[in-house]
Amino acid sequence: MNSGTVKWFNSDKGYGFISNDNGGDDLFVHFSGIASQGFKTLSEGQKVTFDIETDTRNGKLCATNVTIVQPTGARI
């Protein structure tokens, strides 16, 4: 599992990019790669964990199974 920060996410278009804490290029994230129920969106600056897979359509790396990291002591 990797960790990073949401660089930006456009809820209207359903995609954005995550900056990987391990360095390298930013990773594309589609709303379908967000591991949550209901309306799937991310906010700039959120800390997340994710898996990295190769997009079968274009061969580029993308983030999947994206989960928002809750701050210590946060209520859900």
Averaged pLDDT for residues 5-14: 97
Nearest 5 degrees, angle CA 67-CA 70-CA 73? 160
Token pair for 54:
């190769």
What does the domain layout of the chain look like in residue ranges? 2-68
**Residue pLDDT, tens place only, 29-54:** 999 999 988 889 999 999 999 999 99
Contact 53, 62 (CB under 8 A): yes
Question: What is the CATH number that goes with domain 2-68?
Answer: 2.40.50.140
**pLDDT for the residue numbered 38:** 84
Contact 70, 22 (CB under 8 A): no
